[in-house]
Chain A
Amino acid sequence: MTDESYQKLIELANGHIEGRLDESSREELETLLRDDPEQRRAFADFLHDHAALHWEYISESDNVIPLPPVSRQSPNILTWSALTAAVLAISALLGVLFLGQPDPGSGAFVTMEKTRAARWESANLPTVEGARLSAGTLRLAEGLATLRFDSGAEVVLEAPAVVELINGMNCRLVSGTAVADIPDSALGFQISTPAAKVVDYGTRFAVNVDSLTGATQTQVFEGLVEVEHPESGEIVTLKTGETNFVAGDSIGQATAAPDETEWVHSTQPLQRGPEWTKIPSSRDAYVYSVDVAHHHSEILLLLKNSSDTRGPHRKAYLGFDLSTLDPSQIVEAELKLNFAPTGWGLASHLLDSEFSVYGLTGPHSDQWQESTIAWNSAPANEFSTGDTLKKEGAVLLGKFSVEQGFQRGEFGIDDSRLSEFLQKQKGKFASLVVIRNTKETEGGGLVHGIASHRHPTLPAPTLVIRSRE
C-alpha cells in the first residue's frame, strides 16, 4: 500500500465512522475494499479499533447485564431463587416479556395459506386453504401451494413436489421445488433433503430436489444460506445470487446463478435404498353389485359407492405375494395406487372422496381368484352396502382422500396399521380391499379407477416395504 493510498483509506474510514461520506466516496471505499485485500485488512482493523474504543467504555459503565451468580463448581445445582433471577435477567436483557422455548411437536404448526391450481395426491393432511396442518406428508401433483409455518416461515411448493412437515422450524423436501421466504422470527429455518441440509440465515431462497437421486440444488435470491452435506459435514455458504449443487457424496462450491435457473422436474418415483422392497399386486379384481352393460374394464379396478342402496357399487380386491420376504421383519409399509379416469359418471355428482383400505383376516381370505371373484362370494364382502365389509373378516388399515374432480395420480396409505397387518401374514399372502366411503350426491356420479397390474402403462397397485436387515 503506497502512503498516498493509505492516507486516502484512513480519510475514507474516518468519514465512514462519522457518517460523512457522500455516495461517490462510499462507492470509492467499496471498490477499494473489494479489490485490495491489504486495504481491506487495514480498514477492518481500523474499524475494529473504533468499535473496541466504544465498547471498552461501555463495559466500564453499568450498562452490562445483571447476572445471577452461578457456582462454577456445581453448575447443575441451581437454587430456585437463582433460577428466578436467571429468568428475570433474560427478560431484562432482552427487553421483552419472557419468551418460552419453542415447543415443536404439539399439534398443528402450519397453515395452508394459499393454493393455485393445486392437485394433491395421497395427502394424509388436509389440503383446503386455511387448513391447519400437523406433522405429515404433502404430495403436490400440480399447481402451487403456500404453507405458512407458525414460526413465520413461508414455503411455496411448486409441483410436482413431496414435502414432510416436521415442526415449525423444520421440513423435509423429498422431491420437487420449494421457495422459502424466512423472516427474522424463523431464522435458522431448515429444509432437509435426501442429500443436504439447508439452513437459512437470510431471507429468500429456493431448494430443488431430484426425486430420482435426491440431488439438491439451492439458490439464494436475497440473504444468506448454509448448505450442509451431512455425510462429510462440509458446509458451503451461499450469498445473494449464488447457487450450488449437492449430489451423492459431493458438495459443490457456490457459483453465481444464471437468470433462469434450470430446475429438475422429474416425475419418477423416489428411488429408495436397498432395504426397501416393492411388491406389485399378483392378482387384483373388482366386484360389482349390479352388472351395468359395457361398464367394465380389464385394466382398471373400478370403485363406486352409489347413492342407491342397491348400487351399482364396486369394490376392489388386491392380492400381494409376500413369499420373497419374512413378514415378521417388516418395519414400514406403504400402499401405492395409481388412479386413472374411467370415463363413467359425473364428477359434479361427487364431492371430495374418502377411501378406506382394509386387510382381510378370515381363514379363507386368500381363497379368491381374479376370474371368479364375485359380489356375493367375495371374502368378507357386505353385500348390502357399497361402503362396508363384514367386521369379523376385515380390519381397517387406513384412509386417503381424493379431491373432487381429480381422477389421476398416485394415492394410497402410509400407516403403521398396514405394516402391523402385513407382519401377521404367516401364509405370506396379503389380501387388501379398497372401498370408496363417499357416496355420490345424486345418481350417475363418477366411477373411480385404479390401475390394475394388467394396465399397459401405469404401475400396478404396489406395496413398498422396508424390512429389518
Chain B
Amino acid sequence: MADSSEDRTEAFLRLLTEHEKRLGIYVTGLISCPQDAQDILQEGKVVMWRNFEKFELGTNFAAWARKVLFHQILSYRRKVKRQPSGFLNEETLHILNEESESAHREGRWVKREEALKQCLLKLKEDHRTIVQMRYRDEASIEKISHRVERTEGAVYRLLSRLRKSLYECVERQTSQAS
C-alpha cells in the first residue's frame, strides 16, 4: 500500500490532467485574453497543489478548482488593474462566474463544444484558415492582415463575423438537439 501523500500526488495529477482543458476554458471564458488565462491557470495550479490537502477526495474537483481559479482571476485583475486592460469590473466577473457555474450544472457547455466542432467543419476553407491562424497559431490581427493582405480593420470585422456565425450555428444545433 503506497503512502497516503504519494496517493494524493497521484490523485492530484490524475484530476488535474482530466480537468485541465475544461479549467482553461473556464478561465478564458471569464477574462477572454488567452495569454492572461494561461498565466492565471499556471498560478492557479500551484495554488491548487499547495492546498490540495484541503480537497476532499471524491468530491467535485472541478468545482473546487474553479473556486481557486476564480480567486486567482480576481487577484490577477487587481495586480494589473493600473494598466489599461480589457478586464471587466469585479462585480461583472462575479455575475459571469455565477452564470458559468449554472452552465456547468446544466451541462450546457459540453453540448456547445460538441456542436462547435461540427460548426467549424461547415465553415468555408479560407474562413477556417483565419480561425486557425487566430486560435491555433495565436497570431495577432496585425500578423493575419499581413498574411492575407487585407487591412486590420477588415480582418477584425471578418473574425467578428466568423465568431458570430459559429455562435449562431452552435445555438441552432444545441436547440435542435434538446
Contact = CB atoms under 8 A, between A and B. Distances in A.
Nearest to A13: B163
A49 B100 contact: no
B96 A44 contact: yes
A57 B132 contact: yes
Contacts of A26: 86, 88
B21 interface: yes
Interface in A27-60: 29-30, 33-34, 40-41, 43-60
A49 B166 contact: yes
A19 B113 contact: no
A76 B108 CA distance: 35
B42 A95 contact: yes
B139 to A, nearest CB: 12
Closest 10 CB pairs of A and B: A51-B28, A14-B160, A57-B136, A19-B86, A51-B29, A44-B99, A51-B25, A201-B71, A48-B29, A188-B51
B49 A44 contact: no
A274 interface: no
5 contacts: A19-B32, A51-B37, A52-B112, A56-B135, A102-B53
A30 B94 CA distance: 11
B109 interface: yes
Nearest to A68: B13
Interface string A82-113: 01001101100111100101100000000000
Given A14-B159, A70-B10, A102-B53, A65 B17 contact: yes
Given A54-B34, A101-B52, A102-B53, 15 more contacts: A26-B86, A33-B95, A47-B28, A53-B131, A54-B135, A58-B21, A65-B13, A70-B14, A90-B13, A169-B54, A184-B43, A201-B70, A223-B74, A224-B70, A240-B90
B109 to A, nearest CB: 5
A75 B11 CA distance: 9
Interface residues of A, number: 69
A58 B46 CA distance: 20
A53 B135 contact: yes
B92 A33 contact: yes
Nearest to A33: B92
Interface of B: 1-2, 5-10, 12-14, 16-17, 20-21, 24-30, 32-34, 37, 42-43, 45-47, 49-54, 67-68, 70-72, 74-75, 85-86, 88-92, 94-96, 99-100, 103, 108-109, 112-113, 116-117, 120, 131-132, 135-136, 141, 156, 159-160, 163-164, 166-167, 170-171
Nearest to A202: B71
A203 B21 contact: no
A209 to B, nearest CB: 22
A10 interface: yes
Interface of A: 10-11, 13-14, 16-21, 26, 29-30, 33-34, 40-41, 43-61, 64-65, 67-68, 70, 75-78, 83, 86-87, 89-90, 93-96, 99, 101-102, 169, 184-185, 187-188, 201-203, 223-224, 239-240
Q: Is the interface of A mostly helix, strand, loop or mixed?
A: helix
A56 B113 contact: yes
Contacts of A76: 1-2, 7
Contact of A65 (B16, B136, B164, B170): B16
A187 to B, nearest CB: 5
Max count, chain A CB within 10 A of own CB: residue among B27, B29, B68, B75: B29
B33 to A, nearest CB: 6
Nearest to B50: A99
A56 B116 contact: yes
Contacts of A14: 156, 159-160, 163-164
A60 B30 CA distance: 22
B30 to A, nearest CB: 7
A52 B86 contact: no
Max count, chain A CB within 10 A of own CB: residue among B2, B13, B16, B116: B13
A55 B21 contact: yes
B163 to A, nearest CB: 6
Nearest to B38: A58
Contact of A47 (B29, B70, B89, B132): B29
B24 A99 contact: no
Contacts of A95: 42
Contact of B112 (A19, A48, A90): A48
Given A64-B20, A78-B2, A203-B75, A86 B9 contact: yes
Contact of B167 (A10, A54, A58, A203): A10
Max count, chain B CB within 10 A of own CB: residue among A19, A41, A50, A70: A50
A395 B50 CA distance: 45
B95 A40 contact: yes
A43 B32 CA distance: 11
A374 to B, nearest CB: 59
A59 B23 CA distance: 12
Contacts of B94: 239
Contacts of B30: 47
B49 A99 contact: yes
A19 B132 CA distance: 19
A398 B95 CA distance: 55
Nearest to A30: B92
Given A34-B92, A94-B46, A17 B99 contact: no
Contact of A102 (B27, B50, B113): B50
B13 A94 contact: no
A67 B103 contact: no
A102 B54 CA distance: 11
Contacts of B85: 19
B28 A30 contact: no
B47 to A, nearest CB: 5
Contacts of B166: 49, 53
